[in-house]
Amino acid sequence: MERMLYVAMSGARQVMLAQAAHANNLANANTTAFRADLNSFRSMPVFGPGLPSRVYAMDEQPGVDLSRGTLVRTGRDLDLAIEGEGWIAVQAADGSEAYTRAGNLHLGPGGQLLTATGEPVLGGDGPVAVPPYEKLEIGADGTVSVRGLGEPANAVSVVDRIKLVRPPEGELVRGADGLFRLRNGLAAEADGTVRVVAGALEQSNVNAIEAMVSMLTLQRSFELQVKLMQAAEQNEERTTELMRLG
């Protein structure tokens, strides 16, 4: 009886882990440029002396869905979206170089160009800093240009160029901070072919309807595992009663 109980118990635990992953995706359905976590189940035989006596379920997250989200026009000067493949290079909290496609930027202290979560955006030689301006433009190649305060309309100066990269998608991993990095821990080379769209943002690639349906399916699976555990307990009680009668 304990075999049935442990199989059902492990199944319920793995379903709960899958629910957590799907819940995180659903919670980020409106997060700019969010990439959904992939999730799958597989059978795991229990090895020991002799042949495997039972098979448990195992929940795995094989990677991240890197498909692109829809671009939405905002008209805001500090919003930008990657057109096609590519990433924006930023400086993570630990000082390392990381990558994001979330282009909802803002200016921090000293005119530093920051992401929505506060990471400095990297340029040709470190973080990008923007001087006081009357008008700001971000070119398709990531070039940041401004017209300074009190300057004539034709007095446009280039501040810096945002570092845009296009590493192989298979080499990218997402960290606990939500940013992507290369598996080898190195920094990617700037890629001049990457293009951005100013005044636009990329939406999350999470399909809210599919995520909700998956949550309902997992909930039914969890309830089934609980019923199996209850059945195992009832069988154990009946077996004990029969043994007493004997």
Task: Give the percent of the chain with pLDDT over 90.
Answer: 56
pLDDT band for 57, please (50, 70, 90 cuts).
confident
Q: What's residue 2's pLDDT?
A: 65
Predicted local confidence at residue 246, as pLDDT: 58
Average pLDDT, the chain: 88
Is the pLDDT reported for residue 40 higher than 90? no
242 pLDDT above the threshold of 80? no
pLDDT of residue 94 exceeding 60: yes
pLDDT digits (tens, 9 = 90+) for 202-235: 999 999 998 899 889 988 988 888 888 888 778 7
- Flag whether pLDDT at 241 surpasses 80: no
Residues with Cβ within 8 Å of 117's Cβ and at least 6 positions away in sequence, in order, are 102, 178
Give the pLDDT band of residue 28 (cuts 50, 70, 90).
very high
Using the predicted structure, report yes or no on whether residue 15 has a pLDDT greater than 70.
Answer: yes
Confidence of residue 158 (pLDDT cuts 50, 70, 90): very high
pLDDT at 66: 92
Question: What pLDDT sits at residue 36?
Answer: 93
In the predicted model, is pLDDT for residue 87 greater than 80? yes
pLDDT at 14 over 80: yes
Higher pLDDT, residue 47 or 156:
156
Between residues 144 and 10, which one has the greater pLDDT?
144
Average pLDDT over residues 43-54: 72
| 187 CB-near residues (< 8 Å, 6+ apart) | 89, 97
Q: What is the pLDDT of residue 146?
A: 93
Q: What is the pTM of this model?
A: 0.81
Give residue 90's pLDDT: 97
The predicted model gives 117-135 an average pLDDT of 93
